[in-house]
Amino acid sequence: MSQPARVATTSSNLIELECSACGKKYDASQEQHLCTCGKPLLARYDLKRAARTFLLETLKDRPRNLWRYAEVLPGDPPVSLGEGMTPLVHAKRLGASVGLGNLYVKDEGLNPTGSFKARGMSAAVTRARQLGAKALAAPTAGNAGGALAAYAAAAGMAAVIVMPADTPSANVMECQAFGAKVVKLNGLISDCGKFVAENKDREGWYDVSTLKEPYRVEGKKTMGYELWEQFAGKLPHVIFYPTGGGVGLIGMCKAFDELEQMGRVGAERPRMVAVQAEGCAPIVKAWEAHQSSAQFFPNAATIASGLRVPGPLGDQLILSMLRQSRGTAVAVTDNEMLHAGRELASLEGILAAPEGAATVVAAHILAGSGWIKPHETVVLFNTGTGYKYSEAWQKAFEA
Ligand SMILES: *Cc1c(COP(=O)(O)O)cnc(C)c1O
Ligand SMILES: [Zn+2]
């Protein structure tokens, strides 16, 4: 294996942090979490300076991981396990079944620890280490815990993972293997988040919860940069994203804005489609009711553990990005996910997480209704490997 790549940057283009809701500015050289108004902070860069070297040509020879986008990331020595630069597969056989000639699967299951959570955690742990954090803590209903635990291990830092007692066994096992402290609670990820919030000050934990620090978004936004690079400087027409906390959706939209500010793309945007599970669909509910914020979704239940987020902190951001991109939101059932997952696997050789399979269901629905035109370029995000979900897949074969 090659050494984690260190990208040579003379100094970072990171300038400050800005509240996504009220616009209040914060010092990026200090540990920061939420704005005083309670909303997430976003990292802002000197994009004029970044644009001088940020070109398709100059990117070509860089390390094949997300740290290749050094101009638009914090400049610290990365904690890297080779995350990012995942395959963009032209899914011709699945496309024929869906009725789309230009259907692509971005296969995030090939990331370290088997999910795109690796991207966010690589960036968050890198920055936390630089800011002097000792112990990292996060709630998780699935893949975030394993990713945090792995990057904490790679950085030589302690990790505390708080998860619902019914989290899939592979997600519990990986955290234990990486040497993290695992706390299991009878409840949902929202209860686990409360536990972290209530204990972090006393225990000295650095809170890495979804959107409660600004850098997981920075790691995940690189999915947007990769699409731009892999489509040779163009963006697709439609992106299907299985939405839990919405970090990747927020991140990609941020990346597209940054690309425009650097003069690399125009004003057109991919239409973003948030895909959720019927058993936990707060964003879809709010979208259908034309609301700008979401209500807590009661009795959240789905095999797609990454979508079991009943009260996402970034609800207003997600909904406004769906609106601005002229996208939409779709809910699918667990059974549909399992069925579509088998279709994706048997046609393309990709065993997806149920979250990824959910996007296949949604693509069938929106191609069938004419919301997508047959010639349009469409990307489905398979956000994780199916190999960690043996309990869920077992059900598909028992029936
Ligand atoms: C966490 C997770 C999601 C949801 O990601 P967000 O960016 O928080 O919306 C989707 N799929 C998988 C496999 C996940 O682990
Ligand atoms: Zn604010």
pLDDT in tens, 103-118: 999 999 999 999 999 9
Q: Is 143 in the pocket of ligand 1 (CB under 6 A)?
A: yes
Q: Is the pLDDT of residue 1 over 80?
A: no
Q: Is the pLDDT of residue 4 over 60?
A: no
Q: Is 244 in the pocket of ligand 1 (CB under 6 A)?
A: yes
Nearest C-alpha to atom 5 of ligand 1 is from which residue?
244
Q: Is 382 in the pocket of ligand 1 (CB under 6 A)?
A: no
pLDDT at 398: 78
Structural domain 88-115+215-398, CATH architecture: 3-Layer(aba) Sandwich (3.40)
Q: Ligand 2 center to residue 17 CA distance, Å?
A: 11
| Domain-wise residue ranges, the chain | 88-115+215-398
Overall average pLDDT of the 290-309 stretch: 96
pLDDT at 7: 43
Q: What is the pTM of this model?
A: 0.95
Across the chain, mean pLDDT equals 95
pLDDT in tens, 336-359: 999 999 999 999 999 999 999 999
Q: Is 242 in the pocket of ligand 1 (CB under 6 A)?
A: yes
pLDDT at 395: 80
Which band of pLDDT confidence, cut at 50, 70 and 90, is reported for residue 205?
very high
Overall average pLDDT of the 354-378 stretch: 98
Q: Is 251 in the pocket of ligand 1 (CB under 6 A)?
A: no
| HEC readout, the chain | CCCCCCCCCCCCCEEEEEECCCCCEECCCCCCCCCCCCCCEEEEECHHHHHHHCCHHHHCCCCCCHHHHHHHCCCCCCCCCCCCCCCEEECHHHHHHHCCCEEEEEEHHHCHHHECHHHHHHHHHHHHHHCCCCEEEEECCCHHHHHHHHHHHHHCCEEEEEEECCCCHHHHHHHHHCCCEEEEECCCHHHHHHHHHHHHHHHCEEECCCCCCCHHHHHHHHHHHHHHHHCCCCCCCEEEEECCCCHHHHHHHHHHHHHHHCCCCCCCCCEEEEEEECCECHHHHHHHCCCCCCCCCCCCCCCCHHHCCCCCCCHHHHHHHHHHCCCEEEEECHHHHHHHHHHHHHHHCCCECHHHHHHHHHHHHHHHCCCCCCCCEEEEEECEEHHHCHHHHHHHHHC
Nearest C-alpha to atom 7 of ligand 1 is from which residue?
247
pLDDT in tens, 130-186: 999 999 999 998 899 999 999 999 999 999 999 999 898 999 999 999 999 999 999
Q: Ligand 2 center to residue 19 CA distance, Å?
A: 5
